[in-house]
Amino acid sequence: MGYAARVKEPDGAEGAELEAASTEDDEAVGERDLVAPPRRRRRSRGWGWVLLLAVLALGAIAAIELVARFPGLVRERVLREAEARGLKLEAQHIEPVGLLPWEEGPSKVVLREVVLGVAKVDDVELRMQRIEVDVEKLEPVRVRATGVSVRAARPAALFALEREAAAGRLSELPVEVSELRIRIQQLVDALPVAALAEIDQLAIVAGKAELEGKAIRLELPVVPGVKLGPYHVALERAEQRLKVSAEELPGLRVEADEALRRVELRLEKADRKSLLRLLPGLRIPELSVEAKLVVELDGPGAPKGRVDATIHGWTPPRPKELAGIVYGEETKLSAAFARDGLLSLRLDEVELRVGSLRLRGEGKLDGTSGGRLSLQLAGSIDCRELASSAVGAHLGLSAGAFAAQLTRGRLGGTVAVSLGVEAPLSRPTEASISPNAVLRCKLVL
């Protein structure tokens, strides 16, 4: 017996309910389809954070390594830049400031305890306490140095350094220097004199230098404790010649060639106050001096040259009987000189003129033990002039003039006069003078 299943078709109400239920089931399935993928994206987003953190960690490690290596990289760059400009650079510390993107403030490189040499210039060494190099786009644009000490064996080395700084890549950067000290070990081979210059400010732009606050001291290394200065000077350069003037002595002018082979000094009537500023410790009365000194500092016998001086307001001591011969208030002295030992000068062609008296001879200038001047001079006085002067000294000018008339044609000959002078350079007016006279007068009948 067989059975057949009949499926009852839903009527209208039941169909609607089934259709609604079917629709809800479809929507539920659709919702499950929509909800499932976001669960997979949440898992993907978690891995993204891990990846991001890993990238950040790697970036931090790279940044830390960059920061750690950056000073070394900067040091290498600084040394390369110095070498490219012909410099030999050593520095205890090189510190980059403001060069990394996250650092604030101006970008610069700071160097401390620096020793600097110039490849093309020998016998010059520069030491600097601090250098700041301003940087723009990782390129140096300006240099500022503080506490700079320069040592040079000779002036020629300094001039060579200056020429090198004014040419090539060294002239590309403006330079500002403060607290500059320059020491020249020996001004010239022929003269053991050291010079120390102190400069407050030095600016170098396009190879041209401007200086402020210049003071110079001179030292004799072989004579401990002997120092001259400081002298506040003005320096002019033109056509490889130097012109120097000193604030302490307005009438002083010094000219020389760059190599200091020949120096000319002119002194325009310097009074006692000015002389004491120039030569502290000098014991002199009220007087003034004008002089010209020419010195050859190169060649055999150097230093050698000539001096011509006039002392106003002072004459050597003399007996009153010579007042008619040794008269006036001026003493003129001239001499040629040449080196005679390490610190001594031989004086030749010495001439002393006071009134109508002329004495000639030779001498020596000894620079040891504070310095001493020795002179041996000789001359002659006409007997008629001596008689007139002696009579005038005791009986008056009229009697002296009468004596001159009376002895004319009747008194002849001369008086030979010699004079020995020993004077300490620090107290020239305290000289020891040893006069001597030999009468060679005769009556003419």
pLDDT digits (tens, 9 = 90+) for 268-312: 888 888 887 777 667 778 889 999 999 998 878 788 999 999 999
Share of the chain above pLDDT 70, in %: 73
Q: Is pLDDT of 359 > 70?
A: yes
For 251-281, letters b (16+ CB in 10 Å) and e give bbebebebebeebebebeebeeebbeebeee
Over residues 128-147, mean pLDDT: 86
Tokens representing 287 are 């007087």
pLDDT of the residue at 223: 56
Task: Pick the more confident residue, 81 or 37.
Answer: 81
**Is 344 in contact with 359 (CB distance < 8 Å)?**
no
Helices (H) and strands (E) in the chain, counts: 5, 19
Distance between alpha carbon 9 and the CA centroid of its chain, in Å?
A: 120
**Is 399 in contact with 377 (CB distance < 8 Å)?**
no
Per the rule left: phi > 0, alpha: psi between -120 and 50, beta: everything else, 137 is left
Over residues 435-439, mean pLDDT: 80
pLDDT band at 5 (very low <50, low <70, confident <90, very high): very low
Strands 175-184 and 139-152: parallel
Residue carrying the six token digits 């750690």: 68
Distance CA 240, CA 244 (A): 13
Is 128 inside any structural domain? Answer: yes
Q: Tell me: the pLDDT tens digits for 40-93? A: 444 445 555 555 544 454 444 444 444 445 566 777 877 887 888 778 888 888
Amino acid in the structure at residue 230: P
Is 86 inside any structural domain? Answer: yes
Distance between alpha carbon 29 and the CA centroid of its chain, in Å?
A: 95
Distance CA 147, CA 151 (A): 13
Is 6 inside any structural domain? Answer: no
Amino acid in the structure at residue 243: K
Q: What is the pTM of this model?
A: 0.67
Is 226 inside any structural domain? Answer: no
Tokens representing 58 are 């790697």
Quick one: which of 170, 72, 80, 69 has its CA closest to 126?
A: 170
Rank 19-28, 147-156, 305-314, 319-328 by mean pLDDT and report only the highest.
305-314
Q: Is pLDDT of 129 > 90?
A: yes
pLDDT of the residue at 291: 94
pLDDT of the residue at 48: 54
In which domain, by residue range, is 212 found?
82-219
Is 280 inside any structural domain? Answer: no
Across the chain, mean pLDDT equals 76
Tally of structural domains, the chain: 1
In a 10 Å sphere around its CB, with 0-12 CB exposed, 13-18 middle and 19+ buried, how is residue 339 labelled? middle
Task: Pick the more confident residue, 404 or 422.
Answer: 422
What is residue 445's DSSP assignment? -
Is 388 inside any structural domain? Answer: no
Distance CA 193, CA 159 (A): 18
Residue carrying the six token digits 């500023």: 277
- Give the contacts of 178 (CB within 8 A, at least 6 positions apart): 144, 145, 146, 147, 148, 200, 201, 202
For the chain, the residue count is 445
pLDDT of the residue at 1: 37
Is 118 inside any structural domain? Answer: yes
pLDDT of the residue at 399: 58
Is 101 inside any structural domain? Answer: yes
SS3 397: helix
What is residue 191's DSSP assignment? B
